[in-house]
Chains A and B, each alone.
Chain A
Amino acid sequence: MIITKQKNFDDLLRILENDPVFLIGCSECATLCHTGGKDEILAMKEALEKRKIPVSGYVVLDPACHLQNNKRMLKEYAKELENINKILVFSCGNGVQTIAELFTEKEVLTGTDTLFLGEISHVNEFKKRCTLCGECLLDLFGGLCPVSQCPKSMLNGPCGGSFQGLCEISPQVECVWDRIYQVLKKQGNLQTLSVIQKPKDWSKAGEMKRRI
């Protein structure tokens, strides 16, 4: 899931400059991480109206990153969109761009910062799990990804800075290498770590388009 957080409300007020606005949310990731679901869009509508910013309407796209589906869904809102110049989107950065493609004559503004691809670990807690590197190495490391979870993306073992299983960068972060050792030890597969991993082929992360 793409994890986002809402931008600071005061910053949003600044970019809106009291102009009327149409709000867009997303039914998938932004709903699950409570940044752009129906509840959050309604709360935003209310907060903006309290500040005397007219909200011409809103929609929660299903999902915001689907270009053709967006065209279809947004047809219903032609009237609400007709006289406004600003659309404020609460989805990931992908959703914002997909919507911007449809409204080149309007300002499509982003209401969120897109943080990472991660899991829902607990209610309201999300953890980074993938950097979309284009060549999955999970099978080498007991299903744990050092490319995305180690701040130095180390492929040949831990840096030596962790303390009691926590990363030197932040005690909020578990050392993924500590966990890799634990898991592979449990599986009796520690010997897989003796393979020297070659430099990663980052060209695989450079894919810009895919068609099937």
Chain B
Amino acid sequence: MNYRSNLEKCLSERQFAITAEIGPPKGSDAKKIRDKAEFLRGSADAFNITDNQTAVVRMSSFAGCVILLQMNMEPIMQMTCRDRNRIGLQSDVLGAAALGVRNILCLTGDHQSFGNHPAAKGVFDIDSIQLLQIIKNMQDAGIFQSGDPLLAGRPSVYLGAAANPYADPFEAQVDRLWKKIDVGAEFIQTQSIYNVEKFSRWMDDVRSQGLDKRVHILAGITPLKSVKMAERMKFHVPGTDVPDVVFQRMKNAIDPEKEGYAIALETIRELKLLSGIHGIHITALFWEEIIPVLVKDAGLTTRI
């Protein structure tokens, strides 16, 4: 079997995959992202390079991915629909594929009002589902969104999307997952999970529709580093569910960092037991140095 990426190979061969997020720097210093990547080498099967996450300007995901490729590491290029229209997005898909990017995660993107340029005009020409469909068609049918043919090479990329098991309205989120799979998503990375019970109910829904057979789901993990972070996740980050019991554990802890780490480890262990979960996606906000330890302690292995 000819796999497009290492991530595709891991997931297709039913190995429990690990992906980890790397946020590019707020500046042009390539060393910054190289150092982060070097530190995480071997800790994940592929690395998500974020696309101006929370609408804060950073080095582009495209450039970050190329830097990782130069280091012989595998990036997942995140693409949001906030800053580019269908022309810009398709052009970057071609460019990234030409330079060796083999995984793309399609997102609609955080609204510009959350970032450091709230006066910006958001594009939102298309949404994540339409972006998936467009890239799928470029790849399989050799056509652009307009129907115009690609003339010199089709991009060969493993396509991913995000899912939020905690979002309102609940039924809409399974609908959206189904749509994402239908238009071409091959792997799914979920929102950070703190409420395993509610997540497992969502997975019941996912399994009952057979969706876990059609896509590889990687469950999101974001270790809580402080009480302040737990507060932010619980009260201010849209679509995140930090249950009271987890929040209390953080608040009562003598060493919140240690407690947050313990919670993350327990969550991974519980998630590994859930049927239909094929991997873990780690987003360690301002705490990337924890990833190698967490992966090791959770008994996860990578195949690089």
Residues of A within 8 A of B166 (CB): 160
The answer to whether A181 and B238 touch across the interface, beta carbons within 8 angstroms, is no
Q: Which of the 9-residue segments A64-72, A76-84, A92-100, A151-159 touches chain B?
A: A151-159
Cβ-based interface call for B111 (8 A): yes
Q: Which of the 9-residue segments A7-15, A41-49, A104-112, A163-171 touches chain B?
A: A163-171
Residues of B within 8 A of A210 (CB): none
| Beta-carbon nearest neighbor of A155 in chain B | B127
The answer to whether B167 and A151 touch across the interface, beta carbons within 8 angstroms, is no
| Beta-carbon nearest neighbor of A158 in chain B | B172
Cβ-based interface call for A162 (8 A): yes
A96 to B130, CA, bound (A): 39
User: With A158-B168, A158-B169 given, is the CB distance from A194 to B175 under 8 Å?
Assistant: yes
Residues of A within 8 A of B134 (CB): 199
User: With A154-B108, A156-B130 given, is the CB distance from A178 to B124 under 8 Å?
Assistant: no
The answer to whether A160 and B129 touch across the interface, beta carbons within 8 angstroms, is no
CB distance from B34 to the nearest CB of A (A): 33
A193 to B176, CA, bound (A): 10
Interface residues of B in 120-134 (CB under 8 A from A): 122, 124-127, 129-130, 133-134
Residues of A within 8 A of B238 (CB): 160-163, 168
Cβ-based interface call for B191 (8 A): yes
The answer to whether A157 and B122 touch across the interface, beta carbons within 8 angstroms, is no
Cβ-based interface call for B28 (8 A): no
The answer to whether A156 and B145 touch across the interface, beta carbons within 8 angstroms, is no
| Beta-carbon nearest neighbor of B191 in chain A | A160
Cβ-based interface call for B216 (8 A): no
The answer to whether A178 and B182 touch across the interface, beta carbons within 8 angstroms, is no
User: With A152-B127, A154-B127, A199-B125 given, is the CB distance from A160 to B111 under 8 Å?
Assistant: no
The answer to whether A198 and B130 touch across the interface, beta carbons within 8 angstroms, is yes
Q: Interface size (B, Cβ < 8 Å)?
A: 34
Main secondary structure of the interface of A (DSSP, over half): loop
The answer to whether B179 and A199 touch across the interface, beta carbons within 8 angstroms, is no
Cβ-based interface call for B171 (8 A): yes
CB distance from A20 to the nearest CB of B (A): 36
**A157 touches which one: B82, B133, B179 (CB < 8 A)?**
B179
Residues of B within 8 A of A168 (CB): 111, 238-239
The answer to whether B168 and A175 touch across the interface, beta carbons within 8 angstroms, is yes
The answer to whether A151 and B122 touch across the interface, beta carbons within 8 angstroms, is yes
The answer to whether A157 and B168 touch across the interface, beta carbons within 8 angstroms, is no
Residues of B within 8 A of A161 (CB): 111, 167, 238-239
The answer to whether A157 and B175 touch across the interface, beta carbons within 8 angstroms, is yes
The answer to whether B130 and A199 touch across the interface, beta carbons within 8 angstroms, is yes
CB distance from A158 to the nearest CB of B (A): 5
CB distance from A164 to the nearest CB of B (A): 7
Residues of B within 8 A of A157 (CB): 129, 172-173, 175-176, 179
The answer to whether B176 and A199 touch across the interface, beta carbons within 8 angstroms, is no
The answer to whether B168 and A199 touch across the interface, beta carbons within 8 angstroms, is no
Cβ-based interface call for A208 (8 A): no
Cβ-based interface call for A196 (8 A): yes
Cβ-based interface call for B164 (8 A): yes
Query: Taking each of B109, B111, B169, which has the highest tally of chain A beta carbons within 10 Å of its own beta carbon?
Result: B169
Residues of A within 8 A of B175 (CB): 157, 193-194
User: With A155-B127, A202-B125 given, is the CB distance from A164 to B168 under 8 Å?
Assistant: yes
Cβ-based interface call for A90 (8 A): no
The answer to whether B126 and A199 touch across the interface, beta carbons within 8 angstroms, is yes
Q: Mark A167-200, 1 if CB is under 8 A from B, else 0.
A: 0110000010110011000000010011011111
User: With A168-B239, A198-B130, A199-B130 given, is the CB distance from A156 to B176 under 8 Å?
Assistant: yes
The answer to whether B169 and A199 touch across the interface, beta carbons within 8 angstroms, is no
Residues of A within 8 A of B126 (CB): 199-200
Residues of A within 8 A of B172 (CB): 157-158, 177, 181, 193
Cβ-based interface call for B86 (8 A): yes
CB distance from B76 to the nearest CB of A (A): 20
* CB-CB nearest 4 A-B residue pairs: A160-B167, A161-B238, A160-B164, A168-B238
Q: Can you offer 14 A-B residue contacts whose CB atoms are under 8 A?
A: A152-B108, A155-B130, A156-B127, A157-B129, A157-B175, A159-B167, A160-B166, A161-B111, A164-B168, A175-B168, A181-B172, A194-B175, A194-B179, A196-B182
Interface residues, chain B, with chain A CB atoms under 8 Å away = 81-82, 86, 108-109, 111, 113, 122, 124-127, 129-130, 133-134, 145, 164, 166-169, 171-173, 175-176, 178-179, 182-183, 191, 238-239
Extra contacts besides A154-B124, A168-B239, A198-B133 (18): CB < 8 Å: A151-B111, A151-B113, A152-B109, A157-B175, A157-B179, A159-B108, A162-B238, A162-B239, A175-B168, A178-B168, A181-B169, A193-B172, A194-B175, A196-B129, A199-B125, A199-B126, A199-B134, A202-B125
